[in-house]
Each structure stands twice: as structure tokens, then as C-alpha cells.
Amino acid sequence: MTAFLQTSLSQALDFDLAPSCTPRISVQLSSDVAFGSVSVGGHVACAMANYALHYASHRPKLKDQVDLYSSVVQFYRPVFPTSAITMTLREVNIGKVMSTLRVELFQEDKIACSAELTTTDLSTKGITLQTGWRLAPEPRQVDLAKLATDSDPNWASYHCPFYPDGFRRGHSYAKTHVPRTWPAEISFLEQWAEPGLDCLPQGSRPLDSNDDARWTEEMLQFVVDMALPIQCHRDAVYGGQAEASSQRSAVAVPPDRVQADC
């Protein structure tokens, strides 16, 4: 069992904000959720969204619109966890059903990124239309219970270990499952992701911990951003045939669990 216990995503997103709708806050990002010296972009996006939803929950005109409907984030420069960040919020539009908030993130007096966030009440019923759209080819069958135990013969797992001074610390927060066999035609990348925080043998929580890691809605942007390392599926992305054979042998036909050292 490793002695290195990284900060959980829930802890990293818990900024202990005051119960008020202040338009400006300063917080410190965790150095564990990073690649080298740079914070993971999905983690930064989650931090901005959490701040916006916290603001909305304490704003009388927005208290019924505390669900995130959409988020468009633009980065202008890297965000570093070594110094505090300052986030400012501006109300762009307050509507009866949806509202738009703009969050800007500054570090050392320079703007690093911004986010346009739309909030709403997702319990409000809307119109549903059947479009008949389907993925082509059809997605593979998967047994989620078997994925959890690495016992599905059609899927292999990839989990990057966590080291406090490792470069790919951010990747240790997600354990990815990929198909063992390559499709005849690649039109989309197919993978499942589960929290990697309590995966063995490295970068894990204590075995006797009852606090199992799990995804929550506040982590969705992190999950979407946390794709497989590019060297593990670049032939699927770029269509490179020369490199495909070595990459496929490493990812598509691995042992029961693929472990990659940082």
C-alpha cells in the first residue's frame, strides 16, 4: 500500500466559501490535480462552475436556478497551483428560466481563463423529441459490474499511479476502460471512466476507508477533460497507420490491468 494519499477531488473543490454571493473570491488550487506544474484544465473549469453555483444559491433572484446547464470555458494562459487564484463574477443575464453568469479567473494580476455559465432548474419539464439518432457503429456491450472488478473479458483498464512529484498526477484521478479489440472503422473513441483515487496499487486510499471515491455532478467537466494520455490512442485520433501496431498492442490487447508509470 502506498503512503502517498492524494487530495480527493471533493476536497480539492471544497473551498469553504462564505454563505454569501460575493462577486470576488481568492482560493488555492490543489497541487495534486495537475500535470507537472500546471493545474488540470477540467479541474479549473469545475472550480469556476462551483463558484458560480455557490453564488447563485445565495442570490435571491437565482436561488431557483442552481443547476449547471452549460459551460463554455476559454483559457488564455496556464493556471498554476503554486499561487492563489482570484475569481470574479458578473451577472450577464438573469432570466425566468435560465440565467448567464461570467466568471473570470486571475493569477498574479493577469487573466488566465474565463467561463460563460448558464444556470437553470433541471427539474423543470421541457419538450422531448425523438430524433432517431444513433451512434454508428453501435457501441459495444458492457457489464458495469464487471468493469468495477476488472473482470470483463472485452475491456481492459488503464490507471496512472500517483506520485507526489510525478508529472502526470492529474491522470491518477481517473481509471479508464478501453476495448481490447480495435473496431473495423473508427468514428468515435469509446471508453468508460471511473474514479482512480482508490485504485490499487499506487495512488490509492486506505483499504479500510468507507469513503469510496465516486463521480458527482460537480466533477463532470473534469471527467470530460480527463481523456486517455494521447500516446495511448493517437492512432485513433490522427489515423496514423505506422504507429498503430505498437499502440494497439499496448492498449487494445493488454493484460488484465494496464499500469503506466509516470
Q: Of 30-34, 44-48, 72-76, 225-229, which range is least confident?
A: 225-229
Confidence of residue 246 (pLDDT cuts 50, 70, 90): very low
155-159 and 174-179 beta bridge pairing: antiparallel
User: How far from 40 is each of 4, 32, 170, 215, 256, CA to CA, in Å?
Assistant: 19, 10, 6, 16, 28
Four-point Cα dihedral 249, 253, 254, 256, nearest 10: 180
> Domain segments of the chain: what residues?
9-120, 144-244
pLDDT in tens, 167-220: 989 988 998 898 888 777 778 878 898 888 766 544 445 445 556 677 888 888
Mean pLDDT in residue range 53-62:
94
Q: Which one has a higher pLDDT value, 134 or 79?
A: 79
CA distance 103 to 84: 16
pLDDT in tens, 2-55: 455 788 888 888 888 877 788 999 999 999 999 999 999 999 999 999 999 999
Confidence of residue 239 (pLDDT cuts 50, 70, 90): very low
**For residue 47, which of 141, 124, 144, 112 has the smallest C-alpha distance?**
112
Rg over alpha carbons for the chain, rounded to the nearest Å, is 20
Phi-psi domain of 100 (left: phi exceeds 0; alpha: psi -120 through 50; beta: other): beta
Q: What is the mean pLDDT of the chain?
A: 81
Q: Collapsing DSSP states into helix, strand and coil, what is residue 63?
A: coil
In this structure, which topology does domain 9-120 adopt according to CATH? Thiol Ester Dehydrase; Chain A (3.10.129)
